[in-house]
Amino acid sequence: MGLLNATLCQIRRDLTVALRRVHDTLTPVIFFAIVVSLFPLAVGPDKAMLAALAPGVVWVAALLATLLSLNRMFADDYADGSLEQLILAPQPLAVMVLAKVIAHWLLSGLPLVLISPLLALQLHLPESAYGALLASLALGTPVLSLLGAVGAALTLGLRGGGVLVSTLVLPLYTPVLIFGAGAVAQAASGQSIEAHLSLLAAFLVMALTLTPVATAAALRVSLD
């Protein structure tokens, strides 16, 4: 089997397995929607205040929603033994890891991107910032999945792995959070967002280059 076909098969397989457990797949999306929807009730109806806080609220909620699903990225394959078969496969493990990360983002990151404008409407985010919100999340959420894969691989099979994953990856998430929310805030105030989006794109390129290799190495260590 060619490398491209193997990658597509791995993505299709992960999507099929995940969609058989819809409640697990929908948990991050529901959490994201609940957090953003409840925030106006806690802060109050002041439109100016909600609009000012909207970029940070949406981005923090997206980050936390992504954390909810990280622990399952490799756990199910580890439990049923298919992860060992993946390591023994002739295809490079780093490419297979990238395929699993893509599947993870399609299930947990892409839905957050798609529903974010609807939720931002509740926070009275200016319409001029919707494009920046979509662009920043589209660039930032794959970085969250890629960095999270490293943490998930390092804590694979450990008791309390979910807490350990959060501890490991949260410091790495901080720059993405800052520049992602900053891009939306800049757009809302009518300023240029080119610098923020360029940095997010640079983070994405670096993560695509480095994290699959690091995750593959971490998986081998965890299974030894």
Count of domains forming the chain: 1
Q: Which of 142, 147, 150, 146 is nearest to 216 (CA)?
A: 150
What is the per-residue pLDDT for 85?
Answer: 84
What is the per-residue pLDDT for 83?
Answer: 84
What is the per-residue pLDDT for 95?
Answer: 93
Can you read off the two tokens belonging to residue 14? 């992960």
What is the per-residue pLDDT for 98?
Answer: 94
- Can you tell me the distance from the alpha carbon of 210 to that of 147, in angstroms, rounded to the nearest whole number? 10
Please report, as a single letter, which amino acid is at residue 51: A
Backbone angles phi, psi at 121, to 5 degrees: -60, -35
Can you read off the two tokens belonging to residue 199? 């940095």
Residue pointed to by tokens 């081998």:
220
Q: In the chain, which residues have pLDDT < 50? A: none
- Cβ contact 58:119 at 8 Å: yes
* Domain coverage including residue 173: 2-223
Model confidence, pTM: 0.91
